[in-house]
Structure 1
Protein backbone atom coordinates (compact mmCIF):
# COMPACT_ATOMS: atom_id res chain seq x y z
CA UNK A 1 0.00 0.00 0.00
CA UNK A 2 1.36 3.42 -0.94
CA UNK A 3 0.63 6.76 0.64
CA UNK A 4 -1.76 7.49 -2.27
CA UNK A 5 -3.92 4.35 -2.05
CA UNK A 6 -6.00 2.47 0.48
CA UNK A 7 -6.03 -1.31 0.62
CA UNK A 8 -9.20 -2.67 2.28
CA UNK A 9 -7.30 -5.83 3.22
CA UNK A 10 -5.10 -3.68 5.46
CA UNK A 11 -8.07 -2.76 7.68
CA UNK A 12 -9.42 -4.53 10.74
CA UNK A 13 -12.87 -4.12 12.25
CA UNK A 14 -12.66 -4.50 16.04
CA UNK A 15 -16.00 -5.19 17.75
CA UNK A 16 -16.76 -5.24 21.46
CA UNK A 17 -19.78 -7.23 22.61
CA UNK A 18 -21.42 -8.25 25.86
CA UNK A 19 -24.50 -10.47 26.16
CA UNK A 20 -26.09 -9.14 22.98
CA UNK A 21 -25.69 -12.00 20.53
CA UNK A 22 -28.75 -10.97 18.51
CA UNK A 23 -27.28 -7.52 17.89
CA UNK A 24 -23.87 -9.02 17.18
CA UNK A 25 -25.49 -11.29 14.60
CA UNK A 26 -26.92 -8.27 12.76
CA UNK A 27 -23.52 -6.57 12.77
CA UNK A 28 -21.68 -9.64 11.46
CA UNK A 29 -24.38 -10.14 8.81
CA UNK A 30 -23.70 -6.60 7.64
CA UNK A 31 -19.97 -7.35 7.44
CA UNK A 32 -20.75 -10.35 5.19
CA UNK A 33 -22.48 -8.01 2.71
CA UNK A 34 -19.74 -5.37 2.74
CA UNK A 35 -18.01 -4.52 -0.51
CA UNK A 36 -15.12 -4.30 -0.01
CA UNK A 37 -14.57 -6.24 3.20
CA UNK A 38 -11.72 -5.68 5.67
CA UNK A 39 -8.80 -8.06 5.94
CA UNK A 40 -9.56 -8.83 9.59
CA UNK A 41 -12.48 -8.94 11.98
CA UNK A 42 -11.72 -8.99 15.70
CA UNK A 43 -14.49 -9.76 18.18
CA UNK A 44 -13.82 -9.09 21.87
CA UNK A 45 -16.39 -10.77 24.10
CA UNK A 46 -16.61 -9.25 27.57
CA UNK A 47 -17.34 -12.61 29.26
CA UNK A 48 -20.86 -12.97 27.87
CA UNK A 49 -23.03 -15.73 29.32
CA UNK A 50 -25.28 -16.06 26.26
CA UNK A 51 -24.45 -17.82 22.97
CA UNK A 52 -22.03 -15.16 21.72
CA UNK A 53 -19.21 -17.66 21.15
CA UNK A 54 -21.43 -19.89 19.01
CA UNK A 55 -22.62 -16.90 17.00
CA UNK A 56 -19.06 -15.82 16.24
CA UNK A 57 -18.05 -19.34 15.17
CA UNK A 58 -21.06 -19.56 12.85
CA UNK A 59 -19.62 -16.65 10.85
CA UNK A 60 -16.04 -17.90 10.62
CA UNK A 61 -16.45 -19.25 7.07
CA UNK A 62 -19.08 -16.78 5.91
CA UNK A 63 -17.08 -13.63 6.61
CA UNK A 64 -14.48 -14.47 4.00
CA UNK A 65 -11.83 -12.70 6.06
CA UNK A 66 -9.57 -13.55 8.99
CA UNK A 67 -11.64 -13.74 12.18
CA UNK A 68 -10.13 -13.46 15.66
CA UNK A 69 -12.34 -14.16 18.68
CA UNK A 70 -11.14 -13.18 22.14
CA UNK A 71 -13.26 -13.99 25.17
CA UNK A 72 -12.27 -11.96 28.23
CA UNK A 73 -12.19 -13.65 31.64
CA UNK A 74 -14.38 -10.91 33.09
CA UNK A 75 -16.37 -7.92 31.92
CA UNK A 76 -13.80 -5.18 31.33
CA UNK A 77 -16.34 -2.67 30.03
CA UNK A 78 -16.18 -0.95 26.69
CA UNK A 79 -12.82 0.57 27.63
CA UNK A 80 -11.16 -2.75 28.33
CA UNK A 81 -12.79 -4.35 25.30
CA UNK A 82 -11.65 -1.65 22.88
CA UNK A 83 -8.17 -1.65 24.37
CA UNK A 84 -7.91 -5.40 23.80
CA UNK A 85 -9.51 -5.19 20.36
CA UNK A 86 -7.07 -2.52 19.26
CA UNK A 87 -4.15 -4.51 20.67
CA UNK A 88 -5.16 -7.60 18.72
CA UNK A 89 -5.73 -5.68 15.49
CA UNK A 90 -2.39 -3.92 15.89
CA UNK A 91 -0.57 -7.21 16.48
CA UNK A 92 -2.25 -8.71 13.40
CA UNK A 93 -0.51 -5.98 11.43
CA UNK A 94 -3.59 -4.00 10.46
CA UNK A 95 -2.79 -0.58 9.03
CA UNK A 96 -6.25 0.74 9.83
CA UNK A 97 -8.39 -0.16 12.86
CA UNK A 98 -12.14 0.48 12.77
CA UNK A 99 -13.77 0.29 16.20
CA UNK A 100 -17.45 -0.34 16.82
CA UNK A 101 -19.93 -1.60 19.42
CA UNK A 102 -22.24 -4.52 18.72
CA UNK A 103 -25.35 -2.35 18.38
CA UNK A 104 -24.59 -1.00 14.92
CA UNK A 105 -24.43 -2.41 11.42
CA UNK A 106 -22.10 -1.36 8.64
CA UNK A 107 -23.36 0.28 5.46
CA UNK A 108 -22.28 -2.04 2.59
CA UNK A 109 -19.84 0.46 1.08
CA UNK A 110 -18.82 1.87 4.46
CA UNK A 111 -15.19 0.77 4.24
CA UNK A 112 -14.84 2.22 0.75
CA UNK A 113 -16.23 5.53 2.03
CA UNK A 114 -13.74 5.63 4.89
CA UNK A 115 -10.92 4.44 2.69
CA UNK A 116 -11.22 7.34 0.30
CA UNK A 117 -10.23 9.67 3.16
CA UNK A 118 -7.40 7.43 4.38
CA UNK A 119 -4.72 8.92 2.11
CA UNK A 120 -5.34 12.37 3.64
CA UNK A 121 -6.01 11.73 7.34
CA UNK A 122 -5.05 9.23 10.03
CA UNK A 123 -7.85 9.67 12.57
CA UNK A 124 -11.27 9.65 10.94
CA UNK A 125 -14.83 9.47 12.21
CA UNK A 126 -17.68 8.61 9.86
CA UNK A 127 -21.34 9.49 10.37
CA UNK A 128 -24.12 7.24 11.61
CA UNK A 129 -27.83 6.81 11.10
CA UNK A 130 -29.88 6.51 14.27
CA UNK A 131 -32.25 3.62 14.93
CA UNK A 132 -35.15 5.42 13.24
CA UNK A 133 -33.09 6.30 10.15
CA UNK A 134 -32.50 9.91 11.17
CA UNK A 135 -29.08 11.50 11.06
CA UNK A 136 -27.28 11.03 14.37
CA UNK A 137 -25.41 14.09 15.65
CA UNK A 138 -22.20 13.35 17.53
CA UNK A 139 -20.48 16.07 19.56
CA UNK A 140 -17.11 16.01 17.82
CA UNK A 141 -15.51 18.97 19.60
CA UNK A 142 -14.34 19.05 23.20
CA UNK A 143 -13.79 22.16 25.26
CA UNK A 144 -10.48 21.01 26.71
CA UNK A 145 -10.30 23.53 29.60
CA UNK A 146 -13.79 22.46 30.76
CA UNK A 147 -13.40 18.82 29.74
CA UNK A 148 -16.89 18.63 28.19
CA UNK A 149 -18.27 18.25 24.64
CA UNK A 150 -19.39 21.39 22.84
CA UNK A 151 -23.05 20.50 22.19
CA UNK A 152 -23.70 22.99 19.41
CA UNK A 153 -20.63 22.58 17.24
CA UNK A 154 -21.86 23.03 13.64
CA UNK A 155 -23.55 19.90 12.26
CA UNK A 156 -23.31 20.88 8.61
CA UNK A 157 -20.39 20.38 6.23
CA UNK A 158 -18.94 22.66 3.59
CA UNK A 159 -17.56 21.59 0.22
CA UNK A 160 -14.50 20.06 1.88
CA UNK A 161 -16.68 17.24 3.23
CA UNK A 162 -15.08 17.20 6.67
CA UNK A 163 -14.70 19.07 9.92
CA UNK A 164 -11.71 18.96 12.23
CA UNK A 165 -12.35 17.32 15.59
CA UNK A 166 -10.46 16.96 18.84
CA UNK A 167 -12.42 14.10 20.32
CA UNK A 168 -13.27 10.51 19.43
CA UNK A 169 -16.06 7.96 19.52
CA UNK A 170 -15.34 4.25 19.65
CA UNK A 171 -18.57 3.67 17.75
CA UNK A 172 -16.88 4.19 14.42
CA UNK A 173 -13.37 5.50 15.11
CA UNK A 174 -11.12 4.71 12.12
CA UNK A 175 -7.49 5.17 13.09
CA UNK A 176 -4.11 4.43 11.53
CA UNK A 177 -1.66 2.15 13.33
CA UNK A 178 1.04 4.86 13.28
CA UNK A 179 -1.12 7.02 15.58
CA UNK A 180 -1.87 4.04 17.82
CA UNK A 181 1.86 3.41 18.07
CA UNK A 182 2.44 6.98 19.23
CA UNK A 183 -0.37 7.35 21.77
CA UNK A 184 -0.70 3.76 22.94
CA UNK A 185 -3.82 1.69 23.48
CA UNK A 186 -7.09 3.03 24.91
CA UNK A 187 -6.99 3.10 28.70
CA UNK A 188 -9.00 0.14 30.09
CA UNK A 189 -9.19 1.76 33.54
CA UNK A 190 -12.04 4.00 32.40
CA UNK A 191 -14.30 0.92 32.08
CA UNK A 192 -16.94 3.06 30.34
CA UNK A 193 -17.30 6.76 29.50
CA UNK A 194 -14.80 9.48 28.51
CA UNK A 195 -12.32 6.84 27.29
CA UNK A 196 -12.94 7.54 23.61
CA UNK A 197 -13.08 11.31 24.17
CA UNK A 198 -9.61 11.25 25.71
CA UNK A 199 -8.26 8.84 23.10
CA UNK A 200 -9.55 11.00 20.26
CA UNK A 201 -8.05 14.06 21.90
CA UNK A 202 -4.67 12.33 22.18
CA UNK A 203 -4.89 11.40 18.50
CA UNK A 204 -5.72 14.98 17.53
CA UNK A 205 -2.49 16.10 19.21
CA UNK A 206 -0.53 13.93 16.78
CA UNK A 207 -2.47 14.39 13.54
CA UNK A 208 -5.35 16.31 11.97
CA UNK A 209 -8.39 14.37 13.17
CA UNK A 210 -11.63 14.75 11.21
CA UNK A 211 -15.27 13.77 11.06
CA UNK A 212 -16.28 13.22 7.44
CA UNK A 213 -19.63 13.63 5.73
CA UNK A 214 -20.00 9.91 5.01
CA UNK A 215 -22.73 7.71 6.48
CA UNK A 216 -21.07 4.39 7.26
CA UNK A 217 -22.93 2.94 10.27
CA UNK A 218 -26.52 2.46 11.38
CA UNK A 219 -27.62 1.98 15.00
CA UNK A 220 -29.67 -1.19 15.51
CA UNK A 221 -30.80 -0.62 19.10
CA UNK A 222 -33.49 1.84 20.11
CA UNK A 223 -32.62 4.12 23.03
CA UNK A 224 -35.13 6.26 24.86
CA UNK A 225 -34.52 9.94 24.12
CA UNK A 226 -35.71 13.40 25.03
CA UNK A 227 -36.22 15.49 21.90
CA UNK A 228 -34.79 18.93 22.62
CA UNK A 229 -35.63 20.21 19.15
CA UNK A 230 -32.09 20.79 17.92
CA UNK A 231 -30.50 17.82 19.73
CA UNK A 232 -31.56 14.66 21.54
CA UNK A 233 -30.62 13.56 25.04
CA UNK A 234 -30.41 9.78 25.45
CA UNK A 235 -31.41 7.71 28.46
CA UNK A 236 -28.56 6.46 30.63
CA UNK A 237 -28.05 4.05 33.54
CA UNK A 238 -26.80 4.08 37.11
CA UNK A 239 -23.48 2.63 35.95
CA UNK A 240 -23.04 5.40 33.37
CA UNK A 241 -23.90 8.02 35.98
CA UNK A 242 -21.22 6.66 38.28
CA UNK A 243 -18.48 6.39 35.66
CA UNK A 244 -19.17 9.73 33.99
CA UNK A 245 -18.26 11.41 37.27
CA UNK A 246 -15.58 8.99 38.51
CA UNK A 247 -13.67 9.16 35.24
CA UNK A 248 -13.29 12.89 35.55
CA UNK A 249 -10.38 11.88 37.80
CA UNK A 250 -8.74 10.05 34.88
CA UNK A 251 -9.42 12.97 32.54
CA UNK A 252 -7.82 15.35 35.01
CA UNK A 253 -4.64 13.27 35.11
CA UNK A 254 -4.43 13.01 31.32
CA UNK A 255 -4.92 16.75 30.95
CA UNK A 256 -2.27 17.41 33.58
CA UNK A 257 0.14 15.03 31.87
CA UNK A 258 -0.16 17.01 28.63
CA UNK A 259 -0.24 20.51 30.09
CA UNK A 260 -3.93 21.11 29.35
CA UNK A 261 -5.39 21.11 32.86
CA UNK A 262 -7.08 24.33 33.95
CA UNK A 263 -8.34 23.78 37.52
CA UNK A 264 -11.20 26.29 37.76
CA UNK A 265 -12.63 25.62 34.33
CA UNK A 266 -12.30 21.87 34.71
CA UNK A 267 -14.15 22.09 38.04
CA UNK A 268 -16.90 24.06 36.29
CA UNK A 269 -16.99 21.39 33.58
CA UNK A 270 -17.54 18.75 36.22
CA UNK A 271 -20.43 20.82 37.57
CA UNK A 272 -21.96 21.08 34.10
CA UNK A 273 -21.62 17.32 33.67
CA UNK A 274 -23.37 16.73 36.99
CA UNK A 275 -26.19 19.10 36.02
CA UNK A 276 -26.62 17.43 32.63
CA UNK A 277 -27.03 14.04 34.31
CA UNK A 278 -29.70 15.47 36.62
CA UNK A 279 -31.58 16.77 33.56
CA UNK A 280 -31.24 13.36 31.94
CA UNK A 281 -32.71 11.69 35.03
CA UNK A 282 -35.73 13.97 35.27
CA UNK A 283 -36.64 14.58 31.62
CA UNK A 284 -35.50 11.37 29.88
CA UNK A 285 -35.83 8.69 32.54
CA UNK A 286 -38.64 10.41 34.45
CA UNK A 287 -37.23 9.71 37.90
CA UNK A 288 -35.12 11.30 40.61
CA UNK A 289 -33.50 8.22 42.11
CA UNK A 290 -29.96 7.65 40.89
CA UNK A 291 -28.23 10.78 42.14
CA UNK A 292 -26.31 8.71 44.69
CA UNK A 293 -24.33 7.20 41.81
CA UNK A 294 -23.24 10.67 40.75
CA UNK A 295 -22.00 11.48 44.24
CA UNK A 296 -20.19 8.13 44.51
CA UNK A 297 -18.54 8.89 41.21
CA UNK A 298 -17.37 12.30 42.42
CA UNK A 299 -15.92 10.74 45.58
CA UNK A 300 -14.09 7.97 43.73
CA UNK A 301 -12.94 10.36 41.01
CA UNK A 302 -11.08 12.38 43.62
CA UNK A 303 -9.37 9.20 44.77
CA UNK A 304 -8.44 8.30 41.21
CA UNK A 305 -6.91 11.73 40.60
CA UNK A 306 -4.71 11.38 43.70
CA UNK A 307 -3.70 7.75 43.24
CA UNK A 308 -0.25 6.80 41.88
CA UNK A 309 -0.75 5.73 38.24
CA UNK A 310 0.46 6.75 34.81
CA UNK A 311 -1.35 7.27 31.51
CA UNK A 312 -1.05 4.55 28.87
CA UNK A 313 2.42 4.41 27.28
CA UNK A 314 3.09 4.61 23.55
CA UNK A 315 3.60 1.37 21.65
CA UNK A 316 6.59 2.69 19.75
CA UNK A 317 9.50 4.87 20.84
CA UNK A 318 9.23 8.47 19.53
CA UNK A 319 11.52 9.47 16.69
CA UNK A 320 13.40 12.72 16.29
CA UNK A 321 10.71 14.21 14.05
CA UNK A 322 7.80 12.86 16.14
CA UNK A 323 8.57 13.68 19.79
CA UNK A 324 6.57 12.30 22.69
CA UNK A 325 3.65 14.43 23.85
Structure 2
Protein backbone atom coordinates (compact mmCIF):
# COMPACT_ATOMS: atom_id res chain seq x y z
CA UNK A 1 0.00 0.00 0.00
CA UNK A 2 3.04 2.29 0.18
CA UNK A 3 3.76 1.93 -3.54
CA UNK A 4 3.31 5.00 -5.72
CA UNK A 5 0.77 4.91 -8.56
CA UNK A 6 0.50 7.01 -11.69
CA UNK A 7 -2.68 6.91 -13.75
CA UNK A 8 -2.27 7.37 -17.51
CA UNK A 9 -5.33 8.47 -19.50
CA UNK A 10 -5.60 9.10 -23.24
CA UNK A 11 -8.40 11.28 -24.60
CA UNK A 12 -9.51 12.67 -27.95
CA UNK A 13 -12.62 14.78 -28.54
CA UNK A 14 -14.77 13.11 -25.88
CA UNK A 15 -14.92 15.86 -23.29
CA UNK A 16 -18.19 14.75 -21.68
CA UNK A 17 -16.88 11.24 -21.11
CA UNK A 18 -13.56 12.61 -19.89
CA UNK A 19 -15.29 14.91 -17.39
CA UNK A 20 -17.18 11.98 -15.85
CA UNK A 21 -14.05 9.90 -15.78
CA UNK A 22 -12.02 12.62 -14.04
CA UNK A 23 -14.80 13.02 -11.47
CA UNK A 24 -14.45 9.31 -10.77
CA UNK A 25 -10.71 9.68 -10.26
CA UNK A 26 -11.37 12.52 -7.81
CA UNK A 27 -13.63 10.18 -5.80
CA UNK A 28 -11.02 7.44 -5.34
CA UNK A 29 -10.65 6.65 -1.66
CA UNK A 30 -6.95 6.14 -2.27
CA UNK A 31 -5.97 8.89 -4.71
CA UNK A 32 -3.30 8.23 -7.30
CA UNK A 33 0.03 9.92 -6.72
CA UNK A 34 -0.18 11.45 -10.20
CA UNK A 35 -2.63 11.50 -13.11
CA UNK A 36 -1.20 12.05 -16.59
CA UNK A 37 -3.81 12.88 -19.22
CA UNK A 38 -2.61 12.83 -22.81
CA UNK A 39 -4.83 15.10 -24.90
CA UNK A 40 -4.48 13.88 -28.47
CA UNK A 41 -4.92 17.28 -30.16
CA UNK A 42 -8.62 17.49 -29.27
CA UNK A 43 -10.63 20.17 -31.04
CA UNK A 44 -13.64 20.22 -28.68
CA UNK A 45 -13.71 21.70 -25.16
CA UNK A 46 -11.38 19.07 -23.69
CA UNK A 47 -8.87 21.77 -22.67
CA UNK A 48 -11.55 23.55 -20.66
CA UNK A 49 -12.60 20.33 -18.96
CA UNK A 50 -9.01 19.63 -17.97
CA UNK A 51 -8.46 23.20 -16.77
CA UNK A 52 -11.34 23.03 -14.28
CA UNK A 53 -10.84 19.41 -13.20
CA UNK A 54 -10.27 18.97 -9.47
CA UNK A 55 -8.13 15.84 -9.54
CA UNK A 56 -5.12 15.48 -7.20
CA UNK A 57 -1.79 15.30 -9.04
CA UNK A 58 -3.23 16.09 -12.47
CA UNK A 59 -0.71 16.66 -15.26
CA UNK A 60 -1.89 17.45 -18.79
CA UNK A 61 0.23 16.44 -21.78
CA UNK A 62 -1.11 18.20 -24.86
CA UNK A 63 0.07 16.61 -28.07
CA UNK A 64 0.18 18.85 -31.16
CA UNK A 65 -0.90 15.86 -33.23
CA UNK A 66 -3.32 12.98 -32.79
CA UNK A 67 -1.04 10.10 -31.84
CA UNK A 68 -3.86 7.59 -31.63
CA UNK A 69 -4.50 5.52 -28.54
CA UNK A 70 -1.22 3.64 -28.99
CA UNK A 71 0.86 6.78 -29.32
CA UNK A 72 -0.95 8.41 -26.43
CA UNK A 73 -0.29 5.51 -24.08
CA UNK A 74 3.31 5.34 -25.27
CA UNK A 75 3.82 9.03 -24.47
CA UNK A 76 1.90 8.97 -21.18
CA UNK A 77 3.59 5.84 -19.85
CA UNK A 78 7.00 7.10 -20.94
CA UNK A 79 6.43 10.36 -19.05
CA UNK A 80 5.20 8.59 -15.91
CA UNK A 81 7.98 6.00 -16.02
CA UNK A 82 10.65 8.68 -16.27
CA UNK A 83 9.30 10.15 -13.02
CA UNK A 84 9.89 6.91 -11.16
CA UNK A 85 6.47 5.62 -10.05
CA UNK A 86 6.05 2.02 -8.89
CA UNK A 87 2.83 1.17 -10.73
CA UNK A 88 1.04 2.55 -13.78
CA UNK A 89 -2.71 2.32 -14.27
CA UNK A 90 -3.78 2.77 -17.89
CA UNK A 91 -7.31 3.69 -18.94
CA UNK A 92 -9.32 5.27 -21.71
CA UNK A 93 -11.53 8.29 -21.13
CA UNK A 94 -14.78 6.29 -21.25
CA UNK A 95 -14.43 4.33 -17.99
CA UNK A 96 -15.09 5.35 -14.39
CA UNK A 97 -13.47 3.45 -11.49
CA UNK A 98 -15.42 2.61 -8.36
CA UNK A 99 -14.13 4.58 -5.35
CA UNK A 100 -12.31 1.54 -3.92
CA UNK A 101 -10.98 0.25 -7.26
CA UNK A 102 -7.40 1.42 -6.79
CA UNK A 103 -7.36 0.32 -3.15
CA UNK A 104 -8.41 -3.19 -4.19
CA UNK A 105 -5.81 -3.42 -6.95
CA UNK A 106 -3.04 -2.38 -4.57
CA UNK A 107 -3.77 -5.33 -2.30
CA UNK A 108 -2.55 -7.62 -5.10
CA UNK A 109 1.11 -8.15 -5.91
CA UNK A 110 0.85 -9.50 -9.46
CA UNK A 111 3.06 -8.23 -12.26
CA UNK A 112 0.09 -6.99 -14.31
CA UNK A 113 -3.46 -6.57 -13.09
CA UNK A 114 -6.77 -5.80 -14.76
CA UNK A 115 -9.75 -4.10 -13.17
CA UNK A 116 -12.95 -5.87 -14.19
CA UNK A 117 -15.34 -3.81 -16.28
CA UNK A 118 -19.10 -3.68 -16.10
CA UNK A 119 -21.68 -1.70 -18.03
CA UNK A 120 -23.79 1.17 -16.70
CA UNK A 121 -26.48 -1.33 -15.62
CA UNK A 122 -24.06 -3.35 -13.50
CA UNK A 123 -23.71 -6.27 -15.90
CA UNK A 124 -20.30 -7.87 -16.36
CA UNK A 125 -18.66 -6.41 -19.48
CA UNK A 126 -15.13 -7.74 -19.22
CA UNK A 127 -14.08 -9.03 -22.63
CA UNK A 128 -10.39 -9.59 -21.83
CA UNK A 129 -9.20 -12.92 -23.18
CA UNK A 130 -8.74 -16.02 -21.08
CA UNK A 131 -7.41 -17.69 -24.19
CA UNK A 132 -5.73 -15.93 -27.10
CA UNK A 133 -4.78 -18.68 -29.52
CA UNK A 134 -1.82 -18.05 -31.79
CA UNK A 135 -1.09 -21.74 -32.23
CA UNK A 136 -4.14 -23.15 -34.02
CA UNK A 137 -4.28 -22.03 -37.67
CA UNK A 138 -7.98 -22.97 -37.82
CA UNK A 139 -8.96 -20.37 -35.21
CA UNK A 140 -10.31 -17.53 -37.35
CA UNK A 141 -10.28 -15.20 -34.35
CA UNK A 142 -7.47 -15.72 -31.84
CA UNK A 143 -9.60 -14.76 -28.82
CA UNK A 144 -11.37 -18.03 -28.10
CA UNK A 145 -12.49 -17.39 -24.50
CA UNK A 146 -13.27 -14.21 -22.56
CA UNK A 147 -14.11 -13.38 -18.96
CA UNK A 148 -17.74 -12.50 -19.65
CA UNK A 149 -18.21 -15.44 -22.00
CA UNK A 150 -16.80 -17.89 -19.44
CA UNK A 151 -18.32 -16.62 -16.18
CA UNK A 152 -21.32 -14.51 -17.20
CA UNK A 153 -21.39 -12.48 -13.99
CA UNK A 154 -18.95 -10.97 -11.53
CA UNK A 155 -20.36 -13.14 -8.73
CA UNK A 156 -19.45 -16.30 -10.63
CA UNK A 157 -15.79 -15.28 -10.99
CA UNK A 158 -13.03 -16.42 -8.65
CA UNK A 159 -11.13 -13.65 -6.84
CA UNK A 160 -8.51 -13.51 -9.60
CA UNK A 161 -8.60 -14.84 -13.14
CA UNK A 162 -5.45 -15.39 -15.27
CA UNK A 163 -5.64 -13.52 -18.56
CA UNK A 164 -3.84 -13.89 -21.87
CA UNK A 165 -4.90 -10.52 -23.22
CA UNK A 166 -6.21 -7.18 -21.99
CA UNK A 167 -7.57 -3.79 -22.96
CA UNK A 168 -6.02 -0.52 -21.87
CA UNK A 169 -9.14 0.16 -19.80
CA UNK A 170 -8.05 -0.41 -16.23
CA UNK A 171 -4.82 -2.27 -16.95
CA UNK A 172 -2.17 -1.88 -14.21
CA UNK A 173 1.48 -2.68 -14.82
CA UNK A 174 4.36 -2.60 -12.37
CA UNK A 175 7.59 -0.76 -12.98
CA UNK A 176 9.78 -3.84 -13.39
CA UNK A 177 7.57 -5.00 -16.26
CA UNK A 178 8.04 -1.72 -18.13
CA UNK A 179 11.76 -1.91 -17.42
CA UNK A 180 11.85 -5.35 -19.04
CA UNK A 181 9.58 -5.00 -22.08
CA UNK A 182 9.48 -1.26 -22.77
CA UNK A 183 6.55 0.90 -23.79
CA UNK A 184 3.41 0.25 -25.86
CA UNK A 185 4.20 0.21 -29.56
CA UNK A 186 3.02 3.54 -30.95
CA UNK A 187 3.16 2.25 -34.54
CA UNK A 188 -0.19 0.49 -33.94
CA UNK A 189 -1.95 3.90 -33.73
CA UNK A 190 -5.28 2.32 -32.70
CA UNK A 191 -6.39 -1.27 -32.03
CA UNK A 192 -4.29 -4.20 -30.80
CA UNK A 193 -1.62 -2.06 -29.07
CA UNK A 194 -2.92 -3.40 -25.74
CA UNK A 195 -3.02 -6.92 -27.16
CA UNK A 196 0.58 -6.61 -28.35
CA UNK A 197 1.70 -5.28 -24.95
CA UNK A 198 0.04 -8.14 -23.07
CA UNK A 199 1.63 -10.74 -25.33
CA UNK A 200 5.05 -9.15 -24.82
CA UNK A 201 4.56 -9.18 -21.05
CA UNK A 202 3.48 -12.82 -20.94
CA UNK A 203 6.27 -13.96 -23.25
CA UNK A 204 8.74 -12.22 -20.94
CA UNK A 205 7.44 -14.42 -18.11
CA UNK A 206 5.06 -11.99 -16.39
CA UNK A 207 1.58 -12.84 -15.18
CA UNK A 208 -1.66 -10.96 -15.90
CA UNK A 209 -4.64 -11.34 -13.56
CA UNK A 210 -8.13 -9.87 -13.60
CA UNK A 211 -9.11 -8.79 -10.09
CA UNK A 212 -12.81 -9.53 -9.57
CA UNK A 213 -13.47 -6.94 -6.87
CA UNK A 214 -11.77 -4.04 -8.68
CA UNK A 215 -14.78 -2.48 -10.41
CA UNK A 216 -14.54 -0.24 -13.47
CA UNK A 217 -17.72 1.07 -15.14
CA UNK A 218 -17.90 1.64 -18.90
CA UNK A 219 -19.85 4.73 -19.86
CA UNK A 220 -20.61 3.40 -23.34
CA UNK A 221 -22.04 0.08 -24.39
CA UNK A 222 -19.35 -2.34 -25.48
CA UNK A 223 -19.12 -2.46 -29.27
CA UNK A 224 -16.21 -3.95 -31.18
CA UNK A 225 -17.99 -3.77 -34.51
CA UNK A 226 -16.38 -1.39 -36.96
CA UNK A 227 -16.88 -0.62 -40.62
CA UNK A 228 -14.05 -2.64 -42.12
CA UNK A 229 -14.23 -0.59 -45.31
CA UNK A 230 -13.44 2.61 -43.36
CA UNK A 231 -10.08 3.98 -42.21
CA UNK A 232 -10.60 2.14 -38.94
CA UNK A 233 -10.98 -1.08 -40.87
CA UNK A 234 -7.49 -0.61 -42.28
CA UNK A 235 -6.01 -0.47 -38.77
CA UNK A 236 -8.10 -3.41 -37.59
CA UNK A 237 -6.75 -5.56 -40.39
CA UNK A 238 -3.19 -4.25 -40.33
CA UNK A 239 -2.70 -4.66 -36.61
CA UNK A 240 -4.37 -8.06 -36.45
CA UNK A 241 -2.03 -9.19 -39.21
CA UNK A 242 0.98 -7.70 -37.41
CA UNK A 243 0.14 -9.65 -34.25
CA UNK A 244 0.05 -12.88 -36.26
CA UNK A 245 3.31 -12.10 -38.05
CA UNK A 246 5.04 -11.26 -34.76
CA UNK A 247 3.72 -13.95 -32.47
CA UNK A 248 2.30 -16.79 -34.57
CA UNK A 249 3.68 -19.96 -33.03
CA UNK A 250 4.04 -21.86 -36.29
CA UNK A 251 4.28 -21.11 -40.02
CA UNK A 252 0.58 -21.85 -40.62
CA UNK A 253 -0.54 -19.25 -38.07
CA UNK A 254 1.92 -16.74 -39.47
CA UNK A 255 0.38 -17.39 -42.89
CA UNK A 256 -3.17 -16.61 -41.70
CA UNK A 257 -3.00 -12.92 -42.70
CA UNK A 258 -2.49 -13.95 -46.31
CA UNK A 259 -5.51 -16.25 -46.17
CA UNK A 260 -7.69 -13.68 -44.42
CA UNK A 261 -6.76 -10.98 -46.92
CA UNK A 262 -7.46 -13.34 -49.82
CA UNK A 263 -10.85 -14.23 -48.35
CA UNK A 264 -11.75 -10.56 -47.90
CA UNK A 265 -10.83 -9.80 -51.51
CA UNK A 266 -12.77 -12.79 -52.87
CA UNK A 267 -15.86 -11.93 -50.81
CA UNK A 268 -15.66 -8.19 -51.38
CA UNK A 269 -18.39 -8.12 -54.07
CA UNK A 270 -20.92 -9.39 -51.50
CA UNK A 271 -19.73 -7.63 -48.34
CA UNK A 272 -17.31 -4.71 -47.92
CA UNK A 273 -16.79 -3.92 -51.58
CA UNK A 274 -13.64 -2.41 -53.05
CA UNK A 275 -12.83 -0.22 -50.00
CA UNK A 276 -12.59 -3.23 -47.68
CA UNK A 277 -10.59 -5.21 -50.24
CA UNK A 278 -8.24 -2.24 -50.61
CA UNK A 279 -7.89 -2.02 -46.82
CA UNK A 280 -6.99 -5.70 -46.58
CA UNK A 281 -4.40 -5.50 -49.36
CA UNK A 282 -2.74 -2.41 -47.92
CA UNK A 283 -2.93 -3.79 -44.38
CA UNK A 284 -1.17 -6.99 -45.42
CA UNK A 285 1.62 -5.06 -47.09
CA UNK A 286 2.09 -2.66 -44.17
CA UNK A 287 1.82 -5.33 -41.45
CA UNK A 288 4.85 -7.10 -42.88
CA UNK A 289 6.91 -4.04 -41.96
CA UNK A 290 5.79 -4.38 -38.32
CA UNK A 291 7.17 -7.87 -37.74
CA UNK A 292 10.12 -6.65 -35.67
CA UNK A 293 9.41 -6.09 -31.97
CA UNK A 294 10.04 -2.65 -30.49
CA UNK A 295 13.11 -2.40 -28.32
CA UNK A 296 12.71 -2.46 -24.56
TM-score, length of structure 2 as denominator length: 0.84
Would the alpha carbon gap of residues 21 and 298 (structure 1) be closer, same or farther in structure 2, given more than 3 Å must change?
same
| Aligned equivalent of 1:73 | 64
> What number of residue pairs does the alignment pair up?
279
Is this contact kept in 1: 2:71–2:187, CA < 8 A? yes
Q: Say yes or no: does 1:154 pair with 2:156.
A: no
Would the alpha carbon gap of residues 46 and 96 (structure 1) be closer, same or farther in structure 2, given more than 3 Å must change?
same
CA distance in 1, matches of 2:194, 2:246: 13
Structure 2: where are the runs of 5+ without partners?
265-269
| Aligned equivalent of 2:164 | 166
Is this contact kept in 2: 1:246–1:299, CA < 8 A? no
| Aligned equivalent of 1:127 | 116
Is this contact kept in 2: 1:107–1:215, CA < 8 A? yes
| Aligned equivalent of 2:267 | none
Cα RMSD for the two superposed structures:
2.7
Would the alpha carbon gap of residues 154 and 19 (structure 1) be closer, same or farther in structure 2, given more than 3 Å must change?
same
Secondary structure of 2:198's counterpart equals helix
Q: Say yes or no: does 1:207 pair with 2:206.
A: yes
Q: Say yes or no: does 1:304 pair with 2:292.
A: no
Secondary structure of 1:254's counterpart equals helix
| Aligned equivalent of 2:180 | 182
Would the alpha carbon gap of residues 159 and 300 (structure 1) be closer, same or farther in structure 2, given more than 3 Å must change?
closer
Secondary structure of 1:138's counterpart equals coil
| Post-superposition offset of 1:268 | 4.3
Would the alpha carbon gap of residues 294 and 245 (structure 1) be closer, same or farther in structure 2, given more than 3 Å must change?
farther
CA distance in 1, matches of 2:263, 2:211: 31
| Post-superposition offset of 1:294 | 3.6
| Aligned equivalent of 2:234 | 242
Cα distance per residue 1:113-151 (max 9 Å; x no partner): 11111x2x1111120111333110313221122572114
Would the alpha carbon gap of residues 293 and 171 (structure 1) be closer, same or farther in structure 2, given more than 3 Å must change?
farther
| Post-superposition offset of 1:273 | 9.8
Secondary structure of 2:13's counterpart equals coil
| Aligned equivalent of 1:283 | none
1:7 pairs with 2, 8, 18, which one? 2
| Post-superposition offset of 1:261 | 3.7
